[in-house]
Structure 1
């Protein structure tokens, strides 16, 4: 196999990325709708290394041979400030793809974070430095540096196809990869959802019930929910 590195990705408007940066993953997920939102959402095994980790930036993708992380170093060569390194070895825990030195160097380079379908290690040190890392495994397993692999080609992480340049957003709730053509819609709808939820909270603070604010009466009726003013095991013929 010939290893290959593509040096460029399609670039989003930085102002749009900044708008997305202030939005939680749950709101962006809802903003994409029930089908596309699910297509962009990585499976739950992709978790933040520490609860405060947040990431928002464009994907520099790296496919690594299982047990090897040579192509991580190729990805470093083409990544720009704010970019998110998106690494996979097919999801194997063998050969840690990430660790303390990679995080330290990423901070120097002002990179946005790392999302890894594979293993990371040095979790205490990374947490202490506060660099945002998301991974599907934690393992100290030694990584080789032989290749083969590729950089800035489509890869699959935790059930989602990630293309170079996709917007990667992650927080304690999960990680999404949003295609550039969908980012504006996701952000606009998420901002509208946030404004709506702010109004809901204002009404709840004013004493209204969630049943009324959420218009649950119609939903209950549509679902055929029946309310019975009794204990469940009451019997009319009980002696």
Structure 2
């Protein structure tokens, strides 16, 4: 049962050093480095192609067609935070636009991830304010029913606790638990180093069949070559 009608003012955020370390890596690398965990569903997309973000989550639980709690959440932002918003039921209304983006930025927020709709995309692109959303939708919302701020939420099938690290780019959105942020940053760096070595080998003409010693396994699996 989700907690409604509450705002938790005190949350434990991942350290700034760990957030900065994770910001150096793409979503795919972080997801793999974390054991192929943490991804949001792929329907959450950037509203403009170059959008990217990395920050600590201030979570929002919205009611359908109602963006009241986004305004409440703006007061809880600290520099480097990302708003992460889910809804009590599926809704693609335009919860967020350029005015709220202006407010969020003024409080130090660095972006929004929302399992719902967003609008004013041209202005958001001009502002370079990154939004990752379920839909782009001009339909407006009201302010009538309370939800909650800084409670655990499930956003696009990903569990998000307040203070977790959220990283988003053109490949998707990944959530790193605050308690694992440092460990995952180290693993991501190691993974990138390994991939750079493989990239050089591929560029030199080596095949994945040989690099990953696939030939015997393929033969055992019944693959046949016919001339």
Secondary structure of the 1:78 match is coil
- Structure 2 residue 18 is the aligned partner of structure 1 residue 12: no
Of 74, 82, 85, 2:83 maps to 85
Judged with a 3 Å threshold, the aligned counterparts in structure 2 of structure 1 residues 188 and 51 are, in CA distance, closer, same or farther, namely same
* Structure 2 unaligned blocks of 5 or more: none
Partner of 2:29: 27
- The partner residue of 1:117 within 115, 118, 143 is 115
Q: Deviations over 1:112-170 (max 9, x none)?
A: 21001111111111112211100001111121112211100111211122111111111
- Report whether the alignment pairs 1:163 with 2:165: no
Q: CA deviation at 1:200?
A: 1.1
1:53 alignment counterpart: 51
Distance 2:216 2:124 in 1: 49
Cα distance in 2, alignment partners of residues 191 and 162 from structure 1: 23
Q: CA deviation at 1:185?
A: 2.9
Match of 1:184 in 2: 182
Contact kept in structure 1, 2:47 and 2:136, CA below 8 Å:
no
CA contact (8 A) 1:58 1:166 kept: yes
Give, in angstroms, the shift of residue 2 of structure 1.
6.2
| Conserved 8 A contact 1:3-1:150 | yes
Q: Is contact 1:91–1:157 with CA below 8 Å preserved after alignment? A: no
TM-score norm. by structure 1 comes to 0.87
* Pairwise CA distance, 1:215: 2.9
1:1-239 to 2 correspondence within 5 Å?
3-34=5-36, 37=37, 40-89=38-87, 90-94=89-93, 96-229=94-227
In structure 2, what is the Cα distance between the partners aligned to 1:222 and 1:51?
Answer: 43
Alpha-carbon distance in 2 for matches of 1:126, 1:18: 24
RMSD across aligned positions (CA): 1.7
TM-score of the superposition, structure 2-length normalised? 0.92
1:44 & 1:65 partners in 2: Cα distance?
Answer: 22
Deviation at 1:222, TM superposition (A): 4.6
The count of aligned residue pairs is 224
> What are the ranges of 5 or more consecutive residues in structure 1 without an aligned counterpart?
230-239
Q: Answer whether contact 2:114 2:134 (CA < 8 A) is retained.
A: yes
